[in-house]
Amino acid sequence: MKLKHKWINFFILIASLVVLNVLGQYAFYRFDFTADKRFTLSDKTKNLLQQNKKPVIITVFLAGELPPAFKRLQAAVSDILSDYQAYAKTDVKVVFVDPLAGLNQADQDTVINNLYERGIEATNLSVKTESGLTQKLVFPMAMMESGGKEFPIKLFQNLDTRGNYEDNINRAIENLEYIFTLGLKKVISDDSPRIGFSESNGELSDLQLADAIHTLSNSYLVGRIDLNSIDKAGLDKLKMLIIAKPRKPFTEAEKYKINYFVMNGGRVLWSIDQVNAELDSLRSKSGQMALNYNLNLDDMLFMYGARVNYNIIADPANSAEIPVSTGVVGGQNQMQLVPWIYYPILLPDTAESVVKKLDGIKSEFPSTVDTIGVKGIKKSYILNTSPFNKVYSLPKLFSLQMLSEQLDPRSFQSKPQHVGLMLEGNFPSVFAGRPLPVAITQPYTMANTSKPAKMIVIGDGDIFKNQVSEQNGTPFPLGFDRYSQRTFGNKALLLNIVDYFTDNDNLIELRNKEIKIRLLDKAKIRLEKTKWQFINVVAPLLLLIFFAIFQHYYRKYKYAK
């Protein structure tokens, strides 16, 4: 009876497994038992995958010989793309490739240049090994393609190439869903938002904005905008306006057009210098008197709820370095990198999604930004200095001789200064109740309050300026400092702001995902390497031999009876 009962239970178990497998063909569900839900996609990602009807190809350029940290990133990318394939209603093909495998140097150079034209950038890493540092060329990138459109995906918001990149791996893994979902939306969408960089008031040149324009052009229609000549129809086509370091006063007609753009729900990124301090001027002169710019924008920004002050911030605790001549040896000018306290490295506010998980932002002679009480406007500070700073009022004389000054730490004890401000809501019209400017013959709008609009005001005009090579005049990547060979988060900041301003689905919320990675203690590994090798390799073999001997004598003892 008992035997019959066992067989019945066995067949019930087999039948249950068969039924579950059959149901699994029609009903799909995934279980995530991790505490931080690292393998759970957001509802926004799932909906986008299920609504998409176009086949998608994702090429990941992480294959071949990689540093251990990149192996971990490769595994994380593979895991999340497996989830994309599972939830998608159409074919999602994922390919991992090593673009330089088996190629000679000439062919490698050709491949690198071709990939760069498509937005895939190579990175030369300093990889730490037991014998020292070695150089390794990797592509921490992916390419997403669908319907004839392609979008390059940078797996790192910011990558430190000096050997400390492992510290950024966790943030890169946390950011994977955001960047892949954003890329998917861009390749399956038929909409390409227009972004305009203003150029009528002495703003940064095409060369100084080369990398910003090149990077944004991969997924947006980007160009320069002359506020003197653009008309109402041209403004209506724009999604976002970027005003980067103007140095000439804005006319009332130009301000009227900007105001109309805001009233129509436009997005504006203000990157403004209120002072004329420039490091290049200090190198060619004995000093420079920093004075106010007259941009004629104070009243407009005041009405919108912001004020860029006429001052300069110094931060000796967290600043970028500049090269300074220390003399001539053997006919060669000797240069040394020293911290320049007027180039603070700005710290993103981690509470704001638009700047969350970004590295430090390099600034040059920044000014503080304040808020003005305006009804219906949500205000958020997004960029700040460290608490160890000092604010200088103008006018002020600057010279490189200031590098030799002995700083009094007590004079720099302060609170973090705000340099970046985000404003969202319904803005009041600057021209409500005012006559039309002379150059405007017909009113563009009669609205006194804008449609829902957004803007960011940054008290530094150089935030989005790339450096230029002195040898051949080619632009460096935005955020890369050619002197210290350090990459700051300036490009990632620009991309995040543009994505946030042009994305109606607010996918940037996906950046709030946090994953806890339990990293091994490398110092302990080096000190106890032999011990753990013995535990992991030799100990299991000894244990197996012990149990074999024990089993042999136990069986001999048992059956000898």
Q: What is the DSSP string of 454-498?
A: EEEEES-TTTTPPPB-TTT-PBPPTTEETTTTEE-SHHHHHHHHH
Beta-bridge mates of residue 273: none
Question: How many C-beta atoms lie closer than 10 Å to residue 231's C-beta?
Answer: 9
Percent of the chain with pLDDT over 70: 87
Least Cα distance to 175 among 199, 193, 195, 159 occurs for 159
Q: CA–CA distance from 532 to each of 21, 191, 524, 537 (Å)? A: 42, 55, 10, 8
**Given a cut of 90, is residue 296 above it in pLDDT?**
yes
Token reading at 363: 């600034």
**Given a cut of 80, is residue 30 above it in pLDDT?**
no
Q: What is the mean pLDDT of the chain?
A: 85
pLDDT, average across residues 134-162: 78
**Given a cut of 60, is residue 28 above it in pLDDT?**
no
Query: Could you give the angle at the alpha carbon of 159 between the alpha carbons of 349 and 79, nearest 5°?
Result: 95
Beta-bridge mates of residue 422: 380, 456
Least Cα distance to 338 among 485, 483, 477 occurs for 483
Q: What is the DSSP string of 38-101?
A: TT---HHHHHHHHH--S-EEEEE---SS--HHHHHHHHHHHHHHHHHHHH-SS-EEEEE--TTT
* In contact, 94 and 79? CB cutoff 8 Å: no
DSSP helix/strand/coil, 382: strand
Token reading at 560: 């000898």
Least trusted range by pLDDT, from 247-261, 411-425, 516-530:
516-530
Residues near 422 by beta carbon (within 8 Å), at least 6 away in sequence: 352, 354, 379, 380, 381, 382, 454, 455, 456
Give pLDDT, residue 151: 86
pLDDT band at 62; cut points 50, 70, 90: confident
**Given a cut of 70, is residue 393 above it in pLDDT?**
yes
pLDDT band at 376; cut points 50, 70, 90: confident
Query: Could you give the angle at the alpha carbon of 320 between the alpha carbons of 268 and 293, nearest 5°?
Result: 45
Give pLDDT, residue 459: 96
Least trusted range by pLDDT, from 87-91, 348-352, 521-525:
521-525
- Separation between Cα atoms, residue 221 and residue 213, nearest integer Å: 9
- Separation between Cα atoms, residue 351 and residue 348, nearest integer Å: 9
Least Cα distance to 138 among 78, 68, 217 occurs for 68
Give pLDDT, residue 129: 58
Give pLDDT, residue 522: 64
- Separation between Cα atoms, residue 299 and residue 56, nearest integer Å: 49
**Given a cut of 50, is residue 428 above it in pLDDT?**
yes
pLDDT band at 57; cut points 50, 70, 90: very high
Q: What is the pTM of this model?
A: 0.78
pLDDT band at 330; cut points 50, 70, 90: low
pLDDT, average across residues 513-532: 68
**Given a cut of 60, is residue 1 above it in pLDDT?**
no
- Separation between Cα atoms, residue 278 and residue 365, nearest integer Å: 8
* In contact, 70 and 62? CB cutoff 8 Å: yes
**Given a cut of 90, is residue 555 above it in pLDDT?**
no
Least trusted range by pLDDT, from 4-8, 348-352, 396-400:
4-8
Give pLDDT, residue 558: 73
Beta-bridge mates of residue 456: 269, 422
- Separation between Cα atoms, residue 303 and residue 306, nearest integer Å: 8
- Separation between Cα atoms, residue 297 and residue 203, nearest integer Å: 14
Residue 18 phi/psi, 5-degree rounding, is -65, -45
pLDDT, average across residues 419-433: 94
pLDDT, average across residues 482-511: 85
Beta-bridge mates of residue 221: 194
312, burial (CB in 10 Å: exposed 0-12, middle 13-18, buried 19+): buried
> b or e along 408-444 (b: 16 or more beta carbons within 10 Å of the residue's beta carbon)?
eeeebeeebbbbbbbbbbbbbbbbeeeeeeeebeeeb
**Distance of alpha carbon 368 from the chain centroid:** 23
pLDDT, average across residues 547-556: 81
Instruction: Identify which has the larger pLDDT, 396 or 270.
Output: 270
Give pLDDT, residue 127: 61
- Separation between Cα atoms, residue 418 and residue 347, nearest integer Å: 10
Domain ranges of the chain: 34-186, 200-488, 523-556
Express each pLDDT in 168-188 by its tens digit. Answer: 777 788 888 888 988 888 888
Give the up-direction half-sphere exposure of residue 223: CA atoms within 13 A in the CB hemisphere.
13
DSSP helix/strand/coil, 293: coil
Least trusted range by pLDDT, from 104-108, 147-151, 515-519, 544-548:
515-519
pLDDT band at 544; cut points 50, 70, 90: confident
pLDDT band at 540; cut points 50, 70, 90: confident
* In contact, 80 and 179? CB cutoff 8 Å: no
Token reading at 489: 């988060």
pLDDT, average across residues 462-479: 92
pLDDT, average across residues 341-366: 89
Give the up-direction half-sphere exposure of residue 313: CA atoms within 13 A in the CB hemisphere.
33
Give pLDDT, residue 163: 46
pLDDT, average across residues 483-509: 86
pLDDT, average across residues 526-545: 80
pLDDT band at 194; cut points 50, 70, 90: very high
Residues near 144 by beta carbon (within 8 Å), at least 6 away in sequence: 56, 57, 58, 150, 151, 153, 180, 183, 184, 186, 187
Least Cα distance to 510 among 48, 12, 20 occurs for 48
Beta-bridge mates of residue 194: 221
Token reading at 283: 């190198």
Residue 44 phi/psi, 5-degree rounding, is -65, -40
Give pLDDT, residue 182: 86
Least trusted range by pLDDT, from 10-24, 202-216, 268-282, 409-423:
10-24
Give pLDDT, residue 111: 84
**Given a cut of 80, is residue 80 above it in pLDDT?**
yes
